[in-house]
Amino acid sequence: MRMKAAFVAAVLLVAASAADAHITKIQIIQKESPTFGGYVFKDVGQYEKLAGKAYGELDPNDPKNAAIVDIKLAPRNARGKVEYAFDFYILKPIDLSKGNHKVMYEPPNRGRKTHASLNRGAGSNDPGSTTNPQELANLFLPPRGYTMVWSGWDFSAGDDSSDYNTTITLPVARNPDGTTITGPSYEYIVSGAASYELNYAAATLDQSKATLTHRLRLDDVPQVVPASGWAYDAKGTSIHLLPQGTRFTQGDIYELSYTAKDPTVNGIGFAAVRDFNAFLRYEKADDGGTANPMAGDITRIYTEVQSQPGRMLNDFRTLGFNQAENGKIVFDGMLQWIAAADGINMNSRFSQPGRTERNRQDQLYAEGVFPFANQSLKDPISGRSGGRYDACTKTKTCPLAMEIYSANEYWVKGASLFHTDPMGKMDLPDHPMARLYFISSMQHGTGNGSAKGACQQFGNPLDSGPVQRALWEALDQWSTKGVTPPPSMVPRLADGTLVPPMPQQAEGFPKIPGVSYTGLKSTRYLLNYGPDYYKTGIATVNPPVIKPPMFDNPANGPIYPTYVPKTDADGNDIAGVRLPDVTVPLATYTGWALRSGPQAGDGCEGTGQMIPFPKTKAERLASGDPRVSIEERYPTADAYASAVKKAVDDFVAKRFMLPEDAQPNVQRLLRMWQSATTATR
């Protein structure tokens, strides 16, 4: 009898703690009704803007929060809860009954809103300020009646509320006796500024306890900068070179290893995303009686992301945060753009969520960590087992997912681990709740084809927007009607479209005059941050020991084999979702690029390339270019137009483009033809 009573008491205690961990207060600081300059969307009406701050608290003893590193070391209020606060921004129909009762939620990218590609416009950080009628009429989300929500989750996002930057205020962890926590921290610096602000203040200004190194290229041996060549500021919150005023060399690599203090509990960002969306979906009001502006309206919440927040949501799902405090589902679907298989450097002590690994940057932050795939697998290197859907499967709170990503994620990250086993020996079948869509030959986001920047070639201008919109509609139909989405489109080991990056002949990339190909690719290691890091999230070694050359050096730890898409004779990727630009090409498009200038040969990070075809046969023969010229491919403008129309129609039929996007894309491609051929025709 005593055991039964104890069991009941324990159940009641857990239930009470779950009910007590929530959004306690919302403060609407600005309300603009109507917004969008009063524009009226047909059948939906006018929209309003709500911007403000929300306050929440977490029970550090609740199992739903147990995954948050250092949560039990955060300060507590009188109720024994851990407090935090964040900014939010909402665009909603004034008359919710005319909306579609669905939310597009975007966790901002470093505080910034990035939904413009999906939304076909209104791309500022204050999208409600858009008043141009032509732009508003062309938007994707408001005419469909979506409410759009953003909220802060990333402590490194800065704090510029004047520009609607959305950030989060987090507690600092302390030792159980109240003393300051210190530990190893690491900064990677490529800025050309006169000083560099540290993510965490130094625990001591004693430079003998820190090491600053400098190198020009990634594979150069780092050279120690003597203590006489740099210094902390008086508070230990930044460093600068000496003599005062000397700037860091733009593009060169500086690395600082030092002892930091006062780690923020960054994993609370996961709970902030969970609890704010759960509040909007399930609650009537906050603790003070302020009404939930979305109370009783929401039937679905779908996420939309670009890059960094997608990696956050990968870990959000892996760690089980799609289960709300009330046990219900938070997100019904996730549209992930350019996140691929990576997680985020957030749920660990002294983590830095703003970091992202690429060819020559941020290689030593814990981002590419098992599990990589949605399926539950065994990792023979670490000995661990798991998959990104394991936790939500146990609680029946799994979201559907559309994982869309570019070729850049194969070259500068480890995207192939999304659909191969950890040792890269076999292809994986689809997870029943997720689809993977590789956009062939694309860089990390839509680029500028008229500029080279720090790269050797012009940037890659391919646009993912039409695919994002079509798959958003497919995600909604999958969620609401059970309509099966298009099948996954990725390169495969089995058919030879997923290959090692070297040699050039194996990858398939042509030898184009004036274009370098080195097979440069990021290597995915199991990095050593100390013996208990992958259990506790607390590094005792930071950065991990690593020796140049960084690429494929077994001395740096066990390697997870990763691969890249094989190309056709033009240098365009064979597998994946091939945009009409790639199906009927005027150029070679790549997801990778190499630097020019002093760092020549190093990777050009997220940028890809556009390498125009020779315009004429004579030009091709004179230059020795192996790619067929434009005039040989398309003898007349009508021949090109016919091929473009067929490619666009096929794209629509395969549900990778909406009919409403078809004609604008045909016209865009015809303008590209005109531009590419004007000089010779």
Q: Please report which confidence band the pLDDT of residue 9 belongs to, taking 50, 70 and 90 as the band edges.
A: very low
pLDDT digits (tens, 9 = 90+) for 26-73: 999 999 999 999 999 999 999 999 999 999 999 999 999 999 999 999
pLDDT tens digit string along 356-379?
999 899 999 999 999 999 999 999
Closest CA to 536 of 282, 259, 333, 350: 350
| Residues 597-642: tens digit of each pLDDT | 999 999 999 999 999 999 999 999 999 999 999 999 999 999 999 9
Mean pLDDT of 633-659: 98
List of residues 6+ apart from 98 with CB closer than 8 A: 43, 44, 45, 145
- Largest Cα separation within the chain, whole Å, is 94
Residue 666 tokens, joined: 């045909």
Q: Residue 494 has what DSSP assignment?
A: T
| Contact criterion met (CB below 8 Å) for 676 and 488 | no
Decide if pLDDT at 2 tops 50: no
What does the pLDDT read at residue 76? 98
- Residue 563, pLDDT > 50, answer yes
pLDDT at residue 16 in the model: 36
Confidence (pTM): 0.95
Question: Coil, helix or strand for 24?
Answer: strand
What string of H, E and C letters represents the secondary structure of 165-207? CCCEECCECECCCCCECEEEEEEEECCCCCEEECCCCECCCCH
Closest to 267 (Cα-Cα) out of 206, 362, 349 = 349
Distances (CA, A) of 54 to 33, 150, 513: 20, 12, 57
Dig out the tokens for 187 from the structure: 């900064």
**Distance from the Cα of residue 194 to its chain's centroid:** 29
**Tell me: the pLDDT tens digits for 394-423?**
999 999 999 999 999 999 999 999 999 999
Spatial CB neighbours of 550, under 8 Å, sequence gap ≥ 6: 218, 219, 363, 523, 556
Query: Which of 306, 648, 337 minimizes the C-alpha distance to 471?
Result: 337
The full set of domain ranges for the chain reads 21-171+266-451+462-471, 182-261, 618-681
Quickly count: other Cβ atoms within 10 Å of residue 659's Cβ: 9
Q: How confident is the model at residue 552 (pLDDT cuts 50, 70, 90)?
A: low
HEC profile of 88-148: EEEEEECCHHHCCCEEEEECCECCECCCHHHHCCCCCCCHHHCCCHHHHHCCCCHHHCCEE
> What is the CATH architecture of 21-171+266-451+462-471?
3-Layer(aba) Sandwich (3.40)
Of the candidates 641, 321, 310, the residue with the CA atom closest to the CA atom of residue 464:
310
Average pLDDT over residues 105-132: 96
Buried b (16+ CB within 10 A) or exposed e, 668-678: ebeebbeebbe
Share of the chain above pLDDT 90, in %: 90
- In 3D space, the residue among 590, 617, 627, 575 whose CA is nearest the CA of residue 516 turns out to be 590
Lowest mean pLDDT among 10-19, 579-588, 610-619: 10-19
